[in-house]
Amino acid sequence: MDGLSSLITDAEATAPPLNEPEELQQGRHQDTVQREAQGDAASLFFLGDSAFSVYEEMARQLRQLGWRETRSKGLIVRCDLVLGDRFTIPYSLLQCERLPATSRYGGYRYINYFRGSHKLTLKASMARIIAASEVTHAEWMPTSFVLGGDQRKRPDDREAFLQWVEQQPEEVWIIKPSSGSKGKDILLIRGLAEIAAFVQTLAPHSRSIFVAQRYVDHPLLYHGRKFDVRVWAFLKTPYDIYAFAHGSCRTSSVLYDAGDVGDTLAHLTNHCLQESSPKFGQYEDGNEIWFPQLAAYLREAYKEDVLGRRIFPQIRNVIVRTLLAMRGELEVLPEMPYRCFQLFGYDLIIDDQLNVFLLEINGSPGVATKYLEPVVRGALALVRGDDAPREWDVDAVRFVKLWGAEDALPDGVALE
């Protein structure tokens, strides 16, 4: 008996794809069960030690499909699918070890992170790469300057930043740690004196790196309060780009006041910060709304489908252009014996003129509980080779395809 037998889950049932008529769902369900019973029972996946909820849920669904699981790093080269820890995946080993052509994915294994994706999710490297390679970035990414780090290795942008501020002293800037998360150590500052004082605190040979980003101080408001937008994007080899059609909006607990940059709760919508407000959850459960609610609010305000006609095309543009700008860092060469996929969390802001701006990208995003199961189920279907529609339907709980390797490049994008 195989030494991994104790890790086998006998359940072979699988849920049908979303948004199909019931009779089609039943037919596909039976076909999927037969296919999985034949193929997945012989398939093996590796689960690392990360407690990241998305891949814990993916492991749960794989077990339901009859996949075998191992946590042994010594068996990782035998696995059809690797759900590894982001910074410890042995790519060098996996690129040397091939699976037989009769394996689950025809001789390839899938890995849940792209090598080099940290260059997209670290704020400083993202700002530098996109500014250098994306000719339209000024239209959808706020002006940004990288500050700090070891000046002997790479001078930062402090001189250019101070010159900019001297010319436009009334602009508000948000300063974030390059690798920060959950709203920690974020500053909102304005004026040359205050900004120059911050720059003076940066040691010349420090490992700490920050990004100063021009603050979008005229945001679109939801009932007078600020909100930002989270969209879950999915990238998989060969270089197909998708987004989950339903996104979330994190709302502030207090009314927005552009003149009071000291009121953190009015300006920063991170849940970790908003939870400290006595009004947290007073207006929306968990200070969060979803795309259907936002669509209805905007339709009432503008008397048209603003989300579908004006916002979604811009979100699509931002996601596609950022991932194509990083293609040289992320693309897996055809001769490699592995393929990759990864879920990204795009945080965006909409201004009062309905322009969409990219704030940051998370490489290990959390997914709201209500969407965790369908997001993971949809991701597994895409890895399996299922197709996705091109139309972004706010009422459809599914992935939509934004760009594929067969598509023409957007204007201004040139790949070497």
pLDDT in tens, 336-368: 999 999 999 999 999 999 999 999 999 999 999
Residue-level pLDDT at 271: 86
Report, as an integer, the average pLDDT of 121-146.
90
Residue-level pLDDT at 360: 93
Statement to judge: residues 273 and 352 lie in one domain: yes
What whole-number distance in Å separates Cα of residue 71 and Cα of residue 52? 15
Residue-level pLDDT at 25: 41
Residue-level pLDDT at 87: 85
Structural domain includes residue 100: yes
Compute, in degrees rounded to 10, the torsion defined by CA atoms 129, 133, 135, 139.
-20
Statement to judge: residues 228 and 182 lie in one domain: no
CATH number of the CATH domain containing 284:
3.30.470.20
Cβ contacts of residue 35 below 8 Å, gap of 6+? none
Structural domain includes residue 379: yes
Statement to judge: residues 398 and 253 lie in one domain: yes
Q: Identify the domain containing residue 391 by its residue range.
A: 218-403
Question: Percent of the chain beyond pLDDT 70?
Answer: 88
What whole-number distance in Å separates Cα of residue 227 and Cα of residue 347? 11
Q: How much is the mean pLDDT over the chain? A: 88
Is the pLDDT reported for residue 2 higher than 70? no
Cβ contacts of residue 120 below 8 Å, gap of 6+? 126, 129, 322, 323, 326, 329, 330, 344, 361, 363
Is the pLDDT reported for residue 172 higher than 90? yes
What whole-number distance in Å separates Cα of residue 326 and Cα of residue 295? 31
Q: Name the most confidently modeled range: 7-21, 119-133, 370-384.
A: 370-384
Closest CA to 370 of 269, 275, 292, 280: 292
Statement to judge: residues 288 and 395 lie in one domain: yes
Residue 260: is it exposed, middle or buried by C-beta count within 10 angstroms (0-12/13-18/19+)? exposed
What whole-number distance in Å separates Cα of residue 85 and Cα of residue 49? 7
Statement to judge: residues 159 and 91 lie in one domain: no
Strand 205-214 relative to strand 144-150, pairing: antiparallel
Buried b (16+ CB within 10 A) or exposed e, 12-32: bebebbeeeeeeeeeeebeeb
Residue-level pLDDT at 182: 56
Report, as an integer, the average pLDDT of 95-110.
94
Residue-level pLDDT at 8: 34
The model's confidence at residue 203, banded by pLDDT at 50, 70 and 90, is confident
Q: Name the most confidently modeled range: 57-66, 87-96, 278-287.
A: 57-66
Q: Would you give the DSSP letter of residue 332?
A: P
Classify 307 as helix, strand or coil. Answer: helix
The model's confidence at residue 24, banded by pLDDT at 50, 70 and 90, is very low
Sheet holding 172-177, edge to edge: 144-150, 205-214, 172-177, 187-190
Cα–Cα distance list, 51 to 48, 72, 222 (Å): 9, 16, 34
Is this model's pTM higher than 0.85 or not?
A: yes
Statement to judge: residues 390 and 282 lie in one domain: yes
Distance in Å from the first CA to the final CA of the chain: 50
Statement to judge: residues 183 and 310 lie in one domain: no
49-67: pLDDT as tens digits: 876 899 999 999 999 999 9
Is the pLDDT reported for residue 388 higher than 90? yes
The model's confidence at residue 31, banded by pLDDT at 50, 70 and 90, is very low
